[in-house]
């Protein structure tokens, strides 16, 4: 019984701490660092350097440039 | 209080993940999560599930609180694999659309489906991959033995996913995957009820 109670106490102690950790993250981390959208852009930008990936997506060079910009575009590099 | 804490644990990483997205990107992310859950739910309906179901969002997609104990292990495997399969179907349809019109929202939807499908198939406790593997092993062994056998696989998967997300942070300065893993681990610790995620 005591053992069970101790476990509960320990859990109640850690949960608010983790919550504070996430709140701090929410305040401190810049938007770009948690952007799934940016991650997706970077992932496909690197993937489409490969011609096979371009073929799978049926991608024209002009379409790639339209979506991702030029290779010199600093946003993705 | 406990419910409030759990809700905040899901809400804050979710907010962190989607705050940098535009409205359309957020909708697409939620749509791929809905597609995943629809897969589970439709297969459950097909197997005769008729109870009320609690649905909630999490940073790793969404959660359906469902009691699958009424199903034999074979059918349970199909229910768990239905979510990732629906994401795969979503990827296939998006790929066809992408070949017609190549736009970023479509590409992003493809990415969200790929991410949800692959992360959910990782054999970490609480995720579809683990649950499907657990049900599969239960066909031949007792649930206790299955849990024992899966413990090292679960630990190894956690470590590998953590290394991958740290590598992503170091190389790409992106915390998305780390947030997903953190929320999954917290979700595993806080939610003990039978669920499909």
Alpha helices by DSSP H, listed for chain B, are: 2-18, 23-46, 73-100, 104-121, 128-138, 143-172, 176-190
Task: Give the orientation angle of helix A36-47 with respect to helix B23-46, to 10 degrees.
Answer: 90
Q: What is the mean pLDDT of residues B7-32?
A: 71
Asked if B21 and A15 come within 8 Å (Cβ–Cβ), the reply is no
Bridge partners of B58, per DSSP, are B61
Q: What is the mean pLDDT of residues B159-185?
A: 80
pLDDT digits (tens, 9 = 90+) for B22-51: 778 878 888 898 899 889 888 988 888 776
Q: Scan residues 48-77 of A and list those with Cβ closer than 8 Å to B.
A: 56-60, 63-64, 66-67
Answering whether pTM is above 0.95, one says no
* pLDDT of res. B17: 64
Give B136 or A50, the one with higher predicted confidence.
B136
ipTM value, please give it: 0.70
DSSP code for A49? T
Checking B3-7 for CB contacts under 8 A at 24+ apart, the result is B5/A15, B5/A16, B5/A19, B5/B190, B6/B190, B6/B191
* pLDDT of res. B54: 62
- CA nearest to A14, candidates B159, B61, B9, B127: B9
Structure confidence at residue B102 as a pLDDT band (50, 70, 90): confident
* pLDDT of res. A27: 73
pLDDT digits (tens, 9 = 90+) for B52-90: 666 666 655 566 666 667 778 888 899 999 999 999 999
Q: Which of A16, A23, A58 sits opposite B12 (nearest CB)?
A: A23
Q: What is the mean pLDDT of residues B98-117?
A: 89
- Max mean pLDDT among A69-73, B58-62, B120-124 falls in B120-124
Lowest mean pLDDT among A11-25, A31-45, B62-76, B164-178: A11-25
B115 to chain A: which residues are within 8 Å by CB?
A: 36
* pLDDT of res. B87: 95
Q: What is the mean pLDDT of residues B82-107?
A: 91
How close does chain B come to A36, measured CA to CA in Å? 6
């Amino acid at each position: 019984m005591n053992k069970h109670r101790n476990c509960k106490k320990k859990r109640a102690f850690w949960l608010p701490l983790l919550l504070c950790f996430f709140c701090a993250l929410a305040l401190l981390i810049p938007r770009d660092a948690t952007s799934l959208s940016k991650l997706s852009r970077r992932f496909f930008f690197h993937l489409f350097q490969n011609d096979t990936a371009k073929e799978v997506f049926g991608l024209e060079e002009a379409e790639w440039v339209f979506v991702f910009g030029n290779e010199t575009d600093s946003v993705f590099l | 209080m406990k419910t409030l804490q759990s809700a905040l644990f899901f809400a804050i990483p979710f907010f962190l993940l989607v705050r940098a997205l535009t409205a359309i990107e957020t909708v697409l992310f939620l749509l791929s999560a809905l597609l995943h859950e629809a897969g589970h739910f439709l297969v459950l309906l097909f197997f005769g599930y008729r109870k009320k179901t609690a649905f909630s969002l999490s940073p790793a997609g969404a959660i359906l609180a469902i009691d699958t104990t009424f199903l034999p292990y074979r059918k349970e495997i199909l229910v768990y694999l239905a979510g990732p399969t629906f994401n795969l179907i979503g990827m296939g349809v998006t790929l066809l659309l992408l070949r017609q019109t190549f736009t970023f929202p479509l590409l992003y939807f493809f990415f969200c489906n790929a991410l949800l499908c692959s992360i959910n198939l990782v054999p970490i406790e609480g995720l579809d991959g683990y649950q499907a593997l657990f049900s599969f092993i239960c066909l031949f062994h007792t649930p206790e033995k299955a849990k024992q056998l899966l413990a090292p696989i679960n630990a190894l998967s956690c470590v590998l996913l953590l290394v991958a997300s740290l590598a992503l942070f170091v190389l790409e300065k992106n915390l998305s995957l780390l947030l997903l893993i953190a929320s999954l681990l917290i979700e595993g610790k806080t939610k003990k009820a039978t669920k499909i995620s």
